Amino acid sequence: MSLHPQFIIDASYLAAAFLFIYGLKRMSSPVTARSGIVVAGIGMLVATLASFLYFFGVAEAARPHLSVNITLAATALFIGTALSWWQGKRVAITAMPQMVALYNGMGGGSAAAIAAVELLRTDAHHTLIPLVVTIIGALIGSISLSGSLIAWAKLDGKIDKTWRMRGQQVLNGTIFLATLAVGAYIVFFAHGHADPRIVAAFFAGALIFGVLMTMPIGGADMPVVISLYNAFTGLAVGFEGYVLQNPALMIAGMVVGSAGTLLTLLMARAMNRSVANVIFSNFGVTGDEQQGEIKGSMKPADASDAAVNMRYASKVIIAPGYGLAVAQAQHKLYEFVKLLVDAGVDVKFAIHPVAGRMPGHMNVLLAEAGVPYDMIYDLEDINGEFKEADVAVVIGANDTVNPAARTNKSSPIYGMPILNVDQAKQVYVIKRGQGKGYSGVENELFFADNTNMVYGDAQKVMVAMIQAVKSLEGGH
């Protein structure tokens, strides 16, 4: 007795849904995250291959036409898999945020493309609810596509300016409302059979709005923006899955959409800001808003002196930032840490929720260098230990360790949770120069009495520190 193709398809979608959810659960811990990604990837593979079984469930007369579509789909699948595999293998850890933004945009664009096909089908019979869902998915998917591409260009340095203008919110709001009006016309007046030029105008409006919404957002907010567009893509995929009556797309979209939404809210909370404030404010335009003079001065220190101090410390806490990724110093950092651990020093890593350019960027960076998971702590778990630390080391971080967030009510970052590195007995800040953070304000930590600045490229500094500690052991 042979199984009907539809039964196999439905069973495959059920298995894929289970693998998606189970994979996401495993991603909640750094220890199991890698296997969780593999499990979710297998689920996507199962769902994709099951889709090709529709060929065997259609009438013989329709198969020649469908076979052309399947050939195109298989070709696109092969090209996409080959390109992503090649790019994924060669991408640098510093370029990981750009890749995530780009691939996320492709997901939103795919959902928008599905909606476009549905809206341009002349033989389709559109009912109200599926048509409304199609329009919403098209809108969200298009915004995610163009917005993610701008985020990618900003992260990759192809767009190095933050574009703002007077009356910008009015312009954005006008374009958004006009796009909604065109969408309403397609649904309620054209009943899904609008002129292709009107459909094109709808998608153009959504794409333009995504660009205009993202262009003013500064680099400091990119982790939240990437997470937000990830949620948008998930929602768009879920909506279009409903339209196609595809359970795998619906479940995958809901999982991604809900996880992305929660992560976006958590990231915004970690910056003590609302999502609306991230998108619509001019945060990071200038540091002139900060009032009052900072007392003290920046005191330079030699890398070897800092290393010797850490070698004879009891407890050292390291706070990494994006500068560590830029210098690609994670491997040398861990080599130095192992020397400290071998000497009996208690070493821990403190990770701020928005350190780096995307959620979890620093965790990925340290894991790539082989740092054990039990040495890495989140802000809420490590903050109480800084006052017990002999030395705190800041590598390439800025706003996430600025005490002004706790003490200076006139500062743009006031209220933002920070790592309490200033409470350590001694603080060393490894930094290329005296530049400000993304918020545009001076960092009070750099001027504190217990802080010394170790200037230079992080990798070169770590090499000097390694040599200094080894020299204490007689050159071994």
Contact 248, 14 (CB under 8 A): no
Residue 236 shares a structural domain with residue 324: no
Residue 276 shares a structural domain with residue 338: no
Is the pLDDT higher at 101 or at 163?
Answer: 101
pLDDT in the model for residue 411? 79
Contact 285, 221 (CB under 8 A): no
- Among residues 247, 280, 313, which one ends one of the domains? 280
110 token code pair? 């795919």
What DSSP character marks residue 375? G
Establish if 196 belongs to a structural domain: yes
pLDDT in tens, 418-455: 999 999 999 999 998 766 665 567 899 999 999 999 99
Rounded CA gap, 41 and 263, in Å?
A: 21
pLDDT in tens, 161-192: 767 778 888 999 999 999 999 999 999 999 98
Residue 318 shares a structural domain with residue 276: no
pLDDT in the model for residue 70? 84
Contact 260, 140 (CB under 8 A): no
Residue 161 shares a structural domain with residue 227: yes
Establish if 461 belongs to a structural domain: yes
Rounded CA gap, 209 and 173, in Å?
A: 9
pLDDT in the model for residue 272? 73
CA-closest candidate to residue 319, choices 378, 427, 397: 397
- Centre a 10 Å sphere on the Cβ of residue 181 and count the other Cβ atoms it contains: 12
Residue 163 shares a structural domain with residue 124: yes
Collapsing DSSP to helix, strand or coil, 426 comes out as strand
Establish if 450 belongs to a structural domain: yes
Block residue for tokens 């407890």: 315
Query: Hey, what amino acid is at 144?
Result: S
Is the pLDDT higher at 357 or at 367?
Answer: 367
Q: What is the 3-state secondary structure (H, E, C) of 203-219?
A: HHHHHHHHHHHHCCCCH
Helix 5-26 vs helix 247-270: crossing angle, to nearest 10: 20
Rounded CA gap, 221 and 228, in Å?
A: 11
Establish if 287 belongs to a structural domain: no
Establish if 90 belongs to a structural domain: yes
166-173 LR contacts (CB < 8 Å, sep 24+) = 168/212, 168/216, 169/280, 171/212, 172/209, 172/212, 172/213
- Among residues 246, 280, 314, which one ends one of the domains? 280
Rounded CA gap, 111 and 324, in Å?
A: 36
Establish if 364 belongs to a structural domain: yes
Block residue for tokens 């945009």: 105
467: confidence class by pLDDT, cuts 50, 70, 90: very high
Residue 274 shares a structural domain with residue 321: no
pLDDT in tens, 318-331: 999 988 988 999 99
CA-closest candidate to residue 21, choices 45, 48, 44: 44
**Could you tell me the CA-to-CA distances from 317 to 311, 353, 422 in Å, in that order?**
13, 16, 11
Is the pLDDT higher at 359 or at 241?
Answer: 241
Contact 313, 429 (CB under 8 A): no
Whether residue 17 has pLDDT greater than 60: yes
> Which value, to the nearest 10 degrees, does the dihedral of the CA atoms of residues 100, 105, 106, 110 take?
140
Note if 195 is an active site residue: no
Which residues lie closer than 8 Å to 254 by C-beta, 6 or more apart?
Answer: 234, 238
Rounded CA gap, 441 and 5, in Å?
A: 62
pLDDT in tens, 328-345: 999 999 999 999 999 999
- What is the b/e burial string over 99-127, where b = at least 16 CB atoms within 10 angstroms of the residue's CB? bbbbbbbbbbbbbbbbbbebbeeeeeebe
Residue 255 shares a structural domain with residue 312: no
Contact 210, 145 (CB under 8 A): yes
CATH number at residue 467: 3.40.50.1220
Collapsing DSSP to helix, strand or coil, 315 comes out as strand
What is the domain extent for residue 311? Answer: 303-472
415 token code pair? 């209220």
pLDDT in the model for residue 394? 97
Residue 340 shares a structural domain with residue 229: no
275: confidence class by pLDDT, cuts 50, 70, 90: confident
CA-closest candidate to residue 324, choices 362, 376, 353, 267: 362
Residue 362 shares a structural domain with residue 220: no
Residue 22 shares a structural domain with residue 168: yes
Residue 378 shares a structural domain with residue 251: no
Residue 276 shares a structural domain with residue 317: no
- Among residues 248, 280, 312, which one ends one of the domains? 280
pLDDT in the model for residue 119? 93
Instruction: Give the CA count within 13 Å in the CB-facing half-sphere of 290.
Output: 24
Establish if 388 belongs to a structural domain: yes
Number of domains comprising the chain: 2
111 token code pair? 């959902």
- What is the b/e burial string over 281-295, where b = at least 16 CB atoms within 10 angstroms of the residue's CB? bebbeeeeebeeebe
Question: What is the longest distance spanned by two Cα atoms in the chain?
Answer: 84
Establish if 123 belongs to a structural domain: yes
CA-closest candidate to residue 175, choices 146, 196, 154: 146
Rounded CA gap, 96 and 364, in Å?
A: 9
Q: Which residue among the candidates 302, 399, 422, 449 is catalytic per the annotation?
A: 399
Return the CA Rg of the chain: 26
